[in-house]
Structure 1
Amino acid sequence: MELDEAIMRRASVRYFLEEPVSDDEITALVEAAIRAPTASGLENWLFVVFKSAEARKKIYDLIGEGMVEYYRAVNLPEDKIKKLKRGIYEEGMYRAPVYIAVFIDRRVRFLKGKEFDEVEFIWSVESAAMAIQNLMLKAVELGLGTVYIGVTNFRGIEKKVRELAGLDENYYLVGVIPVGRPKEEVKPRKRRRSFKEVVVML
């Protein structure tokens, strides 16, 4: 598969078949992820793979908790939230055979001194985000679907994911990525803004 094809075919997949993702596939995903650029060459990312039924159930419940918090934050009416909760808890939205949580270790840095705390943190998050994109594109090549979950970063939920991964507060969760074989045909959506609307050439 050409890179251009993988880029154009990538889309957020929210419903997955109940088929396992092999260890070889997981290895291929993470190997692709760690080829991403990393600020100062630090490679201060950590990929925690949740495969067991028990761990997946806990992650899934935390995703559901985060989604409800998100729906309330955007002021959706409770009847709409109730319908969306059905999509999660009854229809299995985001239920996947594997979840990959991507963390950064905030202790690993290049520039010393508190004046660099913010920029070092931003660089680390950017490095992990590029790794996630590599992972997602590799998933397309392997016939797998992924979706980025950011709601696990809500206060309290992020702590629970971290503790589930056996990590302390030195680690920061960048995102959780459900991985599996798509349940339905993947249909990438068109972008709302055109090339001319998002590019400034000087």
Structure 2
Amino acid sequence: MELDEVIKKRTSVRYFKEKKVPKETLLELIKAAIRAPTASGLENWRFVVFESPEVRNRVYRLIADGMVEYYRAVNLPEDKMEKLRTRMYEDGMYRAPVYVAVFIDRNVRFLKGREYDELELLWSVESAAMAIQNLMLKAVEFGLGTVYIGVTNFRGIDEEVRKLSGLGEGHYLVGIIPIGYPQEDRAPRKRRKSVEDVVEFL
């Protein structure tokens, strides 16, 4: 599969078949992830794979909590909140056979001194985001669907994910990626903005 085709086929998948993803495939996704650029060559990322039924269910509940928190923050009406709960708990939105949580280790850094804390965090998150993109593109090659989950970064929820991962306070959660075989084919959504809308040559 050519890279251009992979990029065009990638789309956010929210409903998955309850079909196990082989460990060998998951390792190939991580291998692709760690080929991403990494600020200062630190490679300070950490990938935690949740695949046992018990731990997956706990992650799923934390994602659901994050979704509720998110929609409360944008003042979603209660009737729409109820529809969200239906999609989550009855329809199984975001319920996947495997989740990958992506962290960075904030104790691994290049620039010393507190004045660089924000910059070091920014660089590390950018590195992890590029790794996530690599993982998502590689997943397309295997016929897998993915979606980026950022709502687990709400305060308290992120701590629960970190504890579930067995990591210390120095680890920062960048996001969770549900991975699985899509329930149905989804055509990638057209972008609202064209290339001309977002680029400027000077």
Give the TM interval when normalised to the shorter protein.
Answer: over 0.9
Q: Does residue 1:154 correspond to 2:137, yes or no?
A: no
Percent of aligned pairs with the same amino acid: 69
Any runs of at least 4 consecutive aligned residues in structure 1 with deviations exceeding 3 A, and if so which?
Answer: none
TM-score if structure 1 supplies the norm length? 0.99
CA distance in structure 1 between the partners assigned to 2:92 and 2:21 by the alignment:
17
CA distance in structure 1 between the partners assigned to 2:176 and 2:163 by the alignment:
14
2:114 equivalent in structure 1? 114
2:176 equivalent in structure 1? 176
CA distance in structure 2 between the partners assigned to 1:84 and 1:131 by the alignment:
30
Aligned residues: 202
2:26 equivalent in structure 1? 26
CA distance in structure 2 between the partners assigned to 1:200 and 1:112 by the alignment:
36
Post-superposition CA distance 1:53-95 (Å, at most 9, x none)? 0100000000000001111111110011001110000000000
2:77 equivalent in structure 1? 77
CA distance in structure 2 between the partners assigned to 1:71 and 1:187 by the alignment:
26
**Which runs of 5 or more residues in structure 2 are unaligned?**
none
| CA apart distance, 1:2 | 0.4
Post-superposition CA distance 1:1-46 (Å, at most 9, x none)? 0000000000000000010000011000000000000000000000
CA distance in structure 2 between the partners assigned to 1:121 and 1:201 by the alignment:
30
CA distance in structure 1 between the partners assigned to 2:110 and 2:83 by the alignment:
47
1:56 equivalent in structure 2? 56
CA distance in structure 2 between the partners assigned to 1:117 and 1:200 by the alignment:
32
Letter in 1 for 2:97: P
1:10 equivalent in structure 2? 10
**Which runs of 5 or more residues in structure 1 are unaligned?**
none
Letter in 2 for 1:197: D
| CA apart distance, 1:110 | 0.5
Q: Does residue 1:105 correspond to 2:105, yes or no?
A: yes
CA distance in structure 1 between the partners assigned to 2:96 and 2:158 by the alignment:
19
Post-superposition CA distance 1:118-152 (Å, at most 9, x none)? 11100000000000000000000110000000000
CA distance in structure 1 between the partners assigned to 2:166 and 2:175 by the alignment:
16
Letter in 2 for 1:89: Y
Give 3-state SS (helix, strand or coil) of 1:117's partner.
helix
| CA apart distance, 1:163 | 0.3
Post-superposition CA distance 1:134-181 (Å, at most 9, x none)? 000000011000000000000000000000001111000000000000
TM-score if structure 2 supplies the norm length? 0.99
CA distance in structure 2 between the partners assigned to 1:65 and 1:9 by the alignment:
30
